[in-house]
Amino acid sequence: MNLVVLGQDIETRLLKTLAKHTGAERIEQIHPTAFRIVGALTREGVAPLCEEASVDFAFVPSGRRLDDFGLFVTDMDSTLIDIECIDEIAFEYGKKTQVAEITEAAMRGEMDFRESLTRRVDLLTGLDVSALETVFEERLNLNPGAHELMAGLKKAGIASMLVSGGFTFFTERLKADLGFDFAYANELEVSDGKLTGRVSGPIIDGEAKAAHLVRVRDEMALPADRVIAAGDGANDLPMFRASGFSVAFRGKPVLRAEADCCLNHSGLDAILDLFE
């Protein structure tokens, strides 16, 4: 195994401590914000050492290369972008507090996602559809490293998929802007320029996200271990389990517990540094 350490200020003392603790062979610098501790044993105690130093880490099989992967799949809200779109849409209607409380409960895994989405979208009944454009133009920002991540994936020949329990209004625009190969999300129903409080078609929940991953993976004739998945909430668990390597980006505890890598301090482009 290799232990990859990621962060803005990685002290030599920390690297030496980690190398000794894991019985590693040597330390290699990937670049100033990423180091590979070669031949490390997966031992307890690494996480608290890294958290105390405000750096991220992951144990990665030796010899695993970025171009071994063929598909990258990511969630949208609070993973690729820095907002929950439905919460910001609700802000335009004066209902952000009500909607955000339901969003948080769902992301922590305390509420069924389908129920939470139905309840939240219902609260938006009658809102002018122009509010979505306002959110996209004025409130939506990419999380750090998103552009660099997409460029690195393309360079490595890895296909990319954006799959979200959010809305097609946003995923389709991000697909075009960032060059995703695939994008799937819920479609808000609109009548006379206003939201009806319903979604059109099947709801994209955690299981549906995983189903899209598996379908595209199979169409590309890829085994699960050639898929990277990234997300932040409980409804990303099914696609984590359908992938070969999973990354929790600023993830909720329920997701961090199952992730191969937790990025709490680094940008999305740190995913590129995990592999040789």
Task: Report which residue type is found at 204.
Answer: I
% helix, strand, coil for the chain, step of 5: 40, 25, 35
For residue 105, the tally of other CB atoms under 10 A from its CB is 15
Specify whether 75 is catalytic: yes
Angle, vertex CA 64, rays to CA 63 and CA 66, nearest 5: 130
For residue 9, the tally of other CB atoms under 10 A from its CB is 11
Extended strands (E) in the chain: 2-6, 26-31, 34-38, 56-60, 71-74, 159-167, 182-191, 194-200, 227-231, 245-249, 261-263
Which residue in the list 77, 236, 269, 273 is annotated as catalytic?
Answer: 77
Which residue in the list 9, 67, 68, 75 is annotated as catalytic?
Answer: 75
Contact partners, residue 210, CB within 8 Å, separation at least 6: 238, 239, 241, 242
Q: Among all residues, which ones are annotated catalytic?
A: 75, 77
